A and B are shown apart, each in its own frame.
Chain A
Amino acid sequence: MSRYIAKAAIRGANLIVSEAEKMLQEAIKELGPETPVVFTNTAYYLPVILGFTGIEVQTLGDLQQVIDYAKKLLHPVPGDTLWLPYLGETLDCGVATLLAEEAIEGIRFARGLQPEPIPGLQLTGTSFTSPDGNSQEEEGGFANGPIDDVQLRAWGIQLVDGRMPGFAAIVGAARSNEAAVSIVRELQQRNILVFLSGNVNGRSIIHQLMEEGVEMGYDTYIVPFGTDTISAIYALGFATRSALTFGGLSGGQARDILLYNKYRVFAFVLALGEVDDLKYATAAGALNYGFPVIADTVIPQILPTGITQYEHVISMPFDDIEGETDAEKARRLVQRCIEVRGIKVKITEVPIPVPYGSAFEGERVRRADMRIEFGGRNARAFEYLRMADFDEVEDGKITLIGPSFEDVEVGGAMNLGILVEVAGRKMQEDFEPVLERQIHYFINGASGVQHIGQRDITWIRFSKAAVEKGFQIKHLGEILYARFHADFGSIVDKVQVTLITDEELFQEWLQKAREAYQARNIRLADMTDESVDEFYSCTLCQSFAPNHVCIVSPERLGLCGAYNWLDCKASYQINPTGPNQPVPKGICLDPVYGVWQGPNEFVYQNSHGTVERVSMYSIMRDPMTACGCFECIAMVIPEANGIMVVSREDPSMTPVGMKFSTLAGIAGGGLQTPGMMGVGKYYLLSKKFISAEGGFKRVVWLSKILKETMRDELQAVCEREGVPDLLDKIADGDTATTIEELLAFLEEKGHPALTMDPIF
Chain B
Amino acid sequence: MIEDSKHKPPRWAEKLLSWYCKPELLEDLQGDLNEYFQRNVKAKGVKRAKLIYIIDVFKFFRLYTIRKPKFVNLLIQWIMIGSYIKTSGRNIVRNKLFSSINIIGLAVSMSVGLLLISMLSDIYSYDKFNEHHARIYRVLSRFEFNGDKSNNFMATTSIRAGQAIDEKLTGQEAVAIFRAGFEGDMSFDDKALPLRGFWANENLFSVFTFPLIEGDPNTALKEPFSVVLTEESAMKLFGSTDVVGKILYRNKDKAYTVTGVMKDVPRFSHMRFQMLGSLSTRAILLENEPREQAWDNIWQTWVYLLIPGNVNLEQYQASLDQLSNNEGKDLKNIHIQFRLQPMDDIMLGERLGNQIGQTMGSTMAWVFTGLAFVVMLSACFNYTNLSIARSIRRYREVGVRKVIGALSRNVRTQFLFESMVISLLSLVAAFGLFLLLRPHLIGLEADMQELFVLELSPMVVVAFILFALLVGIAAGFVPALHFSHINAIQAMKNIAQIGGAKKLTGRKVLIVFQYCLSLILIIGTVLIYKQYQYYLNYDLGFSSENIINIRLQGNKAAPLKKILNEMPEVKAISTSVLLNGLNDYWGSDVKNPENPQDSSFVFANKVDENFIPLHEYQLLTGRNFIPKAAEDAREDEVIVNEALLKRFNLGDKNSALGETILVEGNELKIIGVVHEFQYGRVANQTANEVMIRYTNREAEYLNVKIESTDLVGTYDKIAAHWKKLDNVHPFEANFYDHQIEESFRGLKASIKLAGFISFLAISIASLGLLGMVVFTSEMRMREVSIRKVMGASEANLIILLGRNFVALLAISAAISLPLTYWLFRNVMQTRMVHKAPLSYLDGVIAVTAVLVLACIMISSQTWKVARTNPAEVLKSE
Does chain A bind chain B? no
Please report A residues at the B interface, Cβ cutoff 8 Å: none
